[in-house]
């Protein structure tokens, strides 16, 4: 590992070689009451994010319900998003599955739609995968699809702890790895990736609050579900950091941290349906999310969600599409 890390540090390309940077929104997939993809709802969501000038979309990940859909449904979601985006911003379509053959099928489809990169979570559920099996999973996808790969360190859902050492071994064997999403982790641990990985790997934190410390040190962006309903605020935060305007950045950080806090609190106690209520707060019509039976939030929880947004000055009301970030 030390030899690989030394080589990575010595041979880093210039920062312009990065795959992408900024706010990469993990777009949720919304459904009708029969669990089928709500196509008009998806188009409205994509337009919502385009209007907010986000830097890219990340479909069919955990937040996008990828593992909870059939292969055909995942393909249709990717098609809907690609058609609506029409090349205006990059897509990084998640194609990870338990088996390598379905992942290759999805990856070829996503590449055909113009996906900038193919996101692949480690082969989940079977958390006893050997080192050889994990490497082969990624290698076979890379060989089958000539596209940059965007990998995960997400042990909570995949059951596989990637760690810096394993990522370095993967990168040595598969040069087309160009990005990584670091799921919820401390800034200190995320910075270890930053120190040791080659610079042509874009590093995206799953915690938007990590950007306040991480962006000046070299983080390339965030993929953050709890703030996916406030894309304007996320973009404003990124822009302030990019301009080294830390007074504004600290203000946006405070707002986003409070918003993410209440969404995560409700998610832990009530489930992912908290995200549905957060999106509805923006005036978006959401019939079903997630794609499994969930108990609706009570009026008290919805009121708490709204109160936090109003208290921190985000100013969201039903039907309002812009956010007060002053």
Q: Is residue 311 assigned to a domain?
A: no
CA–CA separation, 56 vs 34, rounded Å? 29
SS (H, E, C) 165-182: HHHHHHHHHCCCEEEEEE
The pLDDT of 297-304, averaged and rounded, is 95
**Res. 133 pLDDT band, cuts 50 70 90:** very high
pTM of the full structure: 0.90
Beta-bridged to residue 22, according to DSSP, are 221
Q: How many domains does the chain have?
A: 1
Checking if the pLDDT of 42 tops 70, the result is yes
Among 111, 181, 215, 276, the one annotated catalytic: 181
Tell me whether residue 181 is one of the annotated catalytic residues. Answer: yes
CB-based contacts of 246: which residues, under 8 Å, 6+ apart? 240
Q: Which domain holds residue 118?
A: 2-244
Q: Is residue 308 assigned to a domain?
A: no
DSSP 218: T
CATH of the domain at 229: 3.20.20.70
CA–CA separation, 258 vs 252, rounded Å? 10
CA–CA separation, 152 vs 25, rounded Å? 15
**With the CA atoms of 303, 291, 48 and 307 taken in that order, what torsion angle do they form, in degrees rounded to the nearest 10?**
10
Q: Is residue 323 assigned to a domain?
A: no
Max distance between CA atoms of the chain, in angstroms, equals 57
CA–CA separation, 131 vs 138, rounded Å? 11
- Tally helices (H) and strands (E) across the chain: 13, 8
CA–CA separation, 123 vs 130, rounded Å? 11
Among 49, 138, 152, 193, the one annotated catalytic: 152
Sheet bearing 177-182, strands edge to edge: 56-57, 22-25, 221-222, 202-205, 177-182, 149-153, 117-120, 92-94
* Residue where the block lists tokens 């986000």: 54
- Give the tokens for residue 257: 């941290």
Checking if the pLDDT of 2 tops 60, the result is no
Q: Is residue 265 assigned to a domain?
A: no
The percent of residues in the chain predicted with pLDDT above 70, rounded, is 90
Q: Is residue 55 assigned to a domain?
A: yes
Q: Is residue 239 assigned to a domain?
A: yes
Q: Is residue 302 assigned to a domain?
A: no
Tell me whether residue 217 is one of the annotated catalytic residues. Answer: no
pLDDT in tens, 256-281: 999 999 999 999 999 999 999 999 99
Q: Is residue 227 assigned to a domain?
A: yes
């Amino acid at each position: 590992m030390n030899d690989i890390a030394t080589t990575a540090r010595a041979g880093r390309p210039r920062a312009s070689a990065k795959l992408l940077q900024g706010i990469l929104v993990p777009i949720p997939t919304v459904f009708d009451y029969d669990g089928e993809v709500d196509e008009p709802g998806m188009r409205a969501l994509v337009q919502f994010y385009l209007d907010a000038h986000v830097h890219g979309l990340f479909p069919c990940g955990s937040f996008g319900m990828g593992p909870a859909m059939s292969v055909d449904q995942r393909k249709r979601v990717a098609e809907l998003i690609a058609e609506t985006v029409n090349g205006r911003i990059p897509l990084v379509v998640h194609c990870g599955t338990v088996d390598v053959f379905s992942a290759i099928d999805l990856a070829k489809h996503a590449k055909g739609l113009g996906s900038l990169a193919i996101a692949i979570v480690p082969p989940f559920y079977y958390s006893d995968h050997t080192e050889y099996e994990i490497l082969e999973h990624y290698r076979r996808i890379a060989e089958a699809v000539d596209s940059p790969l965007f990998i995960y360190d997400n042990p909570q859902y995949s059951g596989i702890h990637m760690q810096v050492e394993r990522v370095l071994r993967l990168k040595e064997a598969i040069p087309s790895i160009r990005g990584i999403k670091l799921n919820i982790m401390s800034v200190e641990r995320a910075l270890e990736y930053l120190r040791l990985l080659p610079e042509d790997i874009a590093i995206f934190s799953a915690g938007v609050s990590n950007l306040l410390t991480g962006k000046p040190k070299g983080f390339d962006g965030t993929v953050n579900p709890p703030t996916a309903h406030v894309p304007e605020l996320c973009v404003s935060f990124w822009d302030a950091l990019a301009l080294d305007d830390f007074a504004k950045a600290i203000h946006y950080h405070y707002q986003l941290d409070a918003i993410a806090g209440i969404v995560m609190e409700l998610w832990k106690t009530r489930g992912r349906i908290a995200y549905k209520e957060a999106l509805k707060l923006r005036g978006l019509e959401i019939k079903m999310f997630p794609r499994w039976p969930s108990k609706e939030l009570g009026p008290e929880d919805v009121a708490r969600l709204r109160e936090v947004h109003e208290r921190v000055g985000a100013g969201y009301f039903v039907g309002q599409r812009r956010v007060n970030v002053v």
